[in-house]
Amino acid sequence: MITLYLFIFLPFIFACIVPLLYKYLNRQVHTGWFVLVVPLSILIYLLTFIPAVASGETFEYTFSWIPSLGIHITSYVDGLGLLFGLLISGVGALVILYSIFYMSKVREALHNFYIYLLMFMGAMLGLVFSDHLLAFYGFWELTSVSSFLLISYWYERKSSRQGAMKSMLITVFGGFGMLAGFIMLIMMADTYSIRELIANMDVIQGHSLFIPAMLCILLGAFTKSAQFPFSIWLPDAMEAPTPVSSYLHSATMVKAGIYLVARMTPIFGGSPVWFWIVSGVGIITLLYGSLTALRQTDLKPLLAYSTISQLGLIMSLLGIGSLAVYFGPGESGTVFTVATFAALFHLFNHSTFKGSLFMVVGIIDHETGRRDIRYLGGLMHVMPITFTIALVGGLSMAGLPPFNGFLSKEMFFAAVLDVSKAGIFGLNSIGALFPVIAWVASIFTFVYCMIFVLKTFGGKYHPERLNRKVHEAPIGMLIAPMVLGLLVVLVFFFPNVLGKYILAPALTAVLPMMTVSSYDLKISAWHGINYELLMTLGVILLGGLLYMAKKRWLPTARKFPQGWTLNHFFNEGLLSAERWSASLTNRYMTGSLRHYLLYIFVFFVLLLLGSLLWFHGIRFDFSDNAMINIFDAGLVICMVISALTVLLAANRIVAIVALGALGYMVSMFFVIFRAPDLALTQMVVETVTTVLFLLCFYHLPKLKRTIERISFKWTNLVVSIAVGLTVTVLGLSANGHKLFEPITSFFENSYKLAGAKNIVNAILVDFRGFDTMLEISVLTIAGLGVYVLIRQRSKRGKEHEAE
Partner 1 sequence: MDTLIVILVGILVTIGTYLILSRHLLRIVLGTSIIGHAVNLLIITSGGLKTGGPPLLGERNANFTDAIPQALVLTAIVINFAVTALVLVLCYRAYQGFGTDDLEHLRGEEHE
Quick one: which H or E segment has residue 75? strand 71-77
Candidates 62, 162, 496, 689: give the one binding partner 1 (CB under 8 A).
Answer: 689
CA–CA separation, 145 vs 713, rounded Å?
Answer: 55
Residues in 280-339 that interact with partner 1 by CB under 8 A: none
Query: Shortest gap between Cβ of 616 and partner 1 (angstroms)?
Result: 20
Q: Considering beta carbons, is residue 182 or 670 the nearer one to partner 1?
A: 670
Does 731 help bind partner 1 (rule: CB under 8 A)? yes
Taken in order 775, 779, 780, 782, the sign of the CA dihedral is positive
Residues in 424-453 that interact with partner 1 by CB under 8 A: none
Cα dist from 308 to 142, 175, 234, 238, whole Å: 22, 19, 8, 13
CB within 8 A of 441, min separation 6: which ones? 283, 286, 287, 290, 291, 309, 313
Interface size with partner 1, residues (CB under 8 A): 97
Q: Considering beta carbons, is residue 454 or 635 the nearer one to partner 1?
A: 635
Query: Shortest gap between Cβ of 740 and partner 1 (angstroms)?
Result: 14
Q: Is residue 381 exposed (0-12), middle (13-18) or buried (19+ Cβ within 10 Å)?
A: exposed
Q: Considering beta carbons, is residue 328 or 676 the nearer one to partner 1?
A: 676
Q: Considering beta carbons, is residue 439 or 747 the nearer one to partner 1?
A: 747
x/- site string to partner 1, residues 660 to 679, per CB under 8 A?
Answer: --xx--x--xx-xxxxxxx-
Residues in 767-796 that interact with partner 1 by CB under 8 A: 768, 771-772, 775, 778-779, 781-783, 785-786, 789-790, 793
Instruction: Tell me if residue 59 falls in helix, strand or coil.
Output: strand
Q: Considering beta carbons, is residue 69 or 790 the nearer one to partner 1?
A: 790
Q: Considering beta carbons, is residue 155 or 596 the nearer one to partner 1?
A: 596
Does 728 help bind partner 1 (rule: CB under 8 A)? yes
Residues in 741-760 that interact with partner 1 by CB under 8 A: 742-744, 747-748, 750-751, 756-760
Instruction: Tell me if residue 466 falls in helix, strand or coil.
Output: coil
Query: Shortest gap between Cβ of 205 and partner 1 (angstroms)?
Result: 56
Residues in 696-725 that interact with partner 1 by CB under 8 A: 696-697, 700, 702-703, 707-708, 710-711, 713, 716-717, 719-721, 723-725
x/- site string to partner 1, residues 59 to 88, per CB under 8 A?
Answer: ------------------------------
Q: How far apart are the first and last CA of the chain?
A: 77
Query: Shortest gap between Cβ of 801 and partner 1 (angstroms)?
Result: 14
Q: Considering beta carbons, is residue 183 or 678 the nearer one to partner 1?
A: 678
Residues in 2-61 that interact with partner 1 by CB under 8 A: none
Is 448 in contact with 430 (CB distance < 8 Å)? no
Residue type, 739: L
Query: Shortest gap between Cβ of 659 and partner 1 (angstroms)?
Result: 6
Is 276 in contact with 105 (CB distance < 8 Å)? no
Neighbours of 225 (CB within 10 A): 30
Nearest to 151 by CA among 86, 220, 242: 242
CA triple 326-329-332, angle to 5 deg: 70
Query: Shortest gap between Cβ of 736 and partner 1 (angstroms)?
Result: 10
CA–CA separation, 420 vs 547, rounded Å?
Answer: 29
Cα dist from 662 to 346, 646, 655, 679, whole Å: 88, 9, 11, 13
CA–CA separation, 588 vs 570, rounded Å?
Answer: 27
Q: What are the DSSP calls for 304-355, one per residue?
A: HHHHHHHHHHHHHHHHHHTHHHHH-SSHHHHHHHHHHHHHHHHHHHHHHHHH
x/- site string to partner 1, residues 621 to 660, per CB under 8 A?
Answer: -x-xxxxx---xx--x--xx--xx-xx----x--xx--x-
Is 275 in contact with 319 (CB distance < 8 Å)? yes
CB within 8 A of 685, min separation 6: which ones? 663
Q: Considering beta carbons, is residue 159 or 681 the nearer one to partner 1?
A: 681
Query: Shortest gap between Cβ of 625 and partner 1 (angstroms)?
Result: 5
Q: What are the DSSP calls for 145-207, one per residue?
A: HHHHHHHTSSTTSHHHHHHHHHHHHHHHHHHHHHHHHHHHHHHHHS--BHHHHHHTHHHHHTS
Q: Considering beta carbons, is residue 56 or 676 the nearer one to partner 1?
A: 676
Q: Considering beta carbons, is residue 538 or 769 the nearer one to partner 1?
A: 769
Q: Considering beta carbons, is residue 555 or 742 the nearer one to partner 1?
A: 742
Query: Shortest gap between Cβ of 725 and partner 1 (angstroms)?
Result: 6
Query: Shortest gap between Cβ of 629 and partner 1 (angstroms)?
Result: 9
Query: Shortest gap between Cβ of 41 and partner 1 (angstroms)?
Result: 55
Candidates 688, 706, 753, 791: give the one binding partner 1 (CB under 8 A).
Answer: 688
Does 518 help bind partner 1 (rule: CB under 8 A)? no
Q: Considering beta carbons, is residue 489 or 643 the nearer one to partner 1?
A: 643
Q: Considering beta carbons, is residue 183 or 643 the nearer one to partner 1?
A: 643
Which DSSP state fits 73?
Answer: E
Q: Considering beta carbons, is residue 501 or 604 the nearer one to partner 1?
A: 604
Instruction: Tell me if residue 605 falls in helix, strand or coil.
Output: helix
Q: Considering beta carbons, is residue 436 or 597 the nearer one to partner 1?
A: 597
CA–CA separation, 568 vs 562, rounded Å?
Answer: 7
Query: Shortest gap between Cβ of 158 and partner 1 (angstroms)?
Result: 24
Query: Shortest gap between Cβ of 692 and partner 1 (angstroms)?
Result: 6
Candidates 692, 705, 753, 798: give the one binding partner 1 (CB under 8 A).
Answer: 692
Is 145 in contact with 120 (CB distance < 8 Å)? no
Q: Considering beta carbons, is residue 268 or 664 the nearer one to partner 1?
A: 664
Residues in 592-621 that interact with partner 1 by CB under 8 A: 592-594, 597-598, 601
Query: Shortest gap between Cβ of 609 and partner 1 (angstroms)?
Result: 13
Query: Shortest gap between Cβ of 712 and partner 1 (angstroms)?
Result: 10
Cα dist from 658 to 634, 653, 704, whole Å: 16, 8, 18
Is 166 in contact with 233 (CB distance < 8 Å)? yes
Quick one: which H or E segment has residue 245? helix 242-246
Query: Shortest gap between Cβ of 82 and partner 1 (angstroms)?
Result: 57
Q: Considering beta carbons, is residue 69 or 789 the nearer one to partner 1?
A: 789
Candidates 6, 574, 727, 753: give the one binding partner 1 (CB under 8 A).
Answer: 727
Query: Shortest gap between Cβ of 380 and partner 1 (angstroms)?
Result: 60
Which DSSP state fits 529?
Answer: S
Query: Shortest gap between Cβ of 236 and partner 1 (angstroms)?
Result: 32
x/- site string to partner 1, residues 179 to 208, per CB under 8 A?
Answer: ------------------------------
CA triple 301-303-306, angle to 5 deg: 110
CA–CA separation, 108 vs 111, rounded Å?
Answer: 9
CA–CA separation, 480 vs 769, rounded Å?
Answer: 82
Residues in 563-592 that interact with partner 1 by CB under 8 A: 591-592
CA triple 629-634-640, angle to 5 deg: 130
